[in-house]
Structure 1
Amino acid sequence: MASGWASDGAVHDQIESTVQDAVSRARSAIPKGESLLYCDECGETIPEARRVAIPGVRLCVKCQETLDKQQARFSGYNRRGSKDSQLR
């Protein structure tokens, strides 16, 4: 069912586009190459177990947690989709 000028599949297309953007963003954040011995951010040694578990790792656990928290604050997506969440 279309509303206004939107086509029948407009809502589905918008959802699909949002999902594809999120997948692309997540894939681009995956480390590539050889793991570093020392954290790019603080210079602390990255444990061998972490380097083996995550090929291409660039940050120690503490710096990675800080980065993850910063990125979580700004996700760029309105997940709830309600008018109330758009006003925040």
Structure 2
Amino acid sequence: MATGWAGDGAVQDQIDATVKDGISRAKARLPSGPSLTHCEECGATIPEARQQAVPGVRLCVVCQEAEDKEEAQFAGYNRRGSKDSQLR
């Protein structure tokens, strides 16, 4: 029988699902495979330390920062409109 109220732990379940989805999306964006020696955007040399620190790296630091800023503009979550943010 439906009561109109969320069950115990429903809000936490929603928060957990949001976090799990965010982690999955971040993992899917991680580079893999062999690192490039030169940036595929600008052609700058990618330092050996960066190649070892980020396996599968394809961009230099400058180009990666620019790409990250561009992607941040299109974040998929509206934290102000989500139920878990209204609990604060």
User: If the TM-score is normalised by the length of the shorter chain, which range does it land in?
Assistant: 0.7 to 0.9
Report the secondary structure of 1:40's partner residue: coil
TM-score (normalizing by structure 2): 0.75
C-alpha root-mean-square deviation of aligned residues, in Å?
2.4
- The Cα of 1:31 is off from its aligned counterpart by 1.5
Q: Distance in 2 between matches of 1:57 and 1:31?
A: 6
Report the secondary structure of 1:71's partner residue: helix
Where does residue 41 of structure 2 map in the other structure?
41
Task: Please give the per-residue CA displacement for 1:59-86, whole angstroms capped at 9, x wherever unaligned.
Answer: 1111100111112222212334579xxx
AA paired with 1:52? Q
TM-score (normalizing by structure 1): 0.75
Q: Distance in 2 between matches of 1:7 and 1:42?
A: 53
- How many residues are aligned here? 82
1:25 aligns with 2:25: yes
Where does residue 6 of structure 1 map in the other structure?
6
Q: Distance in 1 between matches of 2:63 and 2:29?
A: 15
Q: Distance in 2 between matches of 1:81 and 1:12?
A: 16
AA paired with 1:48? E
